[in-house]
Amino acid sequence: MEDLNLKQFEPYIFILIGIGAILFSLLKKTKLSALKNSGEKVEGVVYELGQAPGYNTNYDLPINNVKDKLTIRFLTKEKKWITGDIKQPFALMFTGQYTAGQKVDVYYDREDPSKFFVETKQSENLARIFVAGVGLIFCSVGLYMLYA
């Protein structure tokens, strides 16, 4: 039996990844951003800047000072404290824009206050364009490999 040459499938893999990224950026619904219209607005505070679990803990590297987790704390209108990490798809979370103790606008779900949306300075549309751009690059590379 002849060995399967995977090299011949590389252009198609690049094209599929590219199309997948483009479709993801166009079709992915962000449920939490809808809270901006339907949720309760309160003032929250940046409770903590930290590192996500599983982050590189090699203390010799200067990148170890990068903070990639943002914890927010706010008081609901029902006087219940909520503390949680931001989980917003398509939010380019540049945590350097925040400092511990900084006030932020928070929109939360009345039914489940642990679901909340934080108004950020980053544009969701810009993140979608970035993902679609990466998809276009993958498609272009795949097409180049296919026809070159």
pLDDT 10s digits, 50-80 = 765 555 555 555 544 445 578 899 999 999 9
Per DSSP, 53 falls in state T
For tokens 């992915």, what's the residue? 28
Q: How confident is the model at residue 83 (pLDDT cuts 50, 70, 90)?
A: very high
Contact 100, 46 (CB under 8 A): yes
Q: Name the more confident of 61 and 19.
A: 19
Contact 141, 81 (CB under 8 A): no
The predicted pLDDT at position 28 comes to 79
C-beta atoms surrounding 115 within 10 Å: 17
Biggest CA–CA distance in the chain, Å, is 71
Give the chain's mean pLDDT: 80
DSSP element (H, E) containing 133: helix 124-147
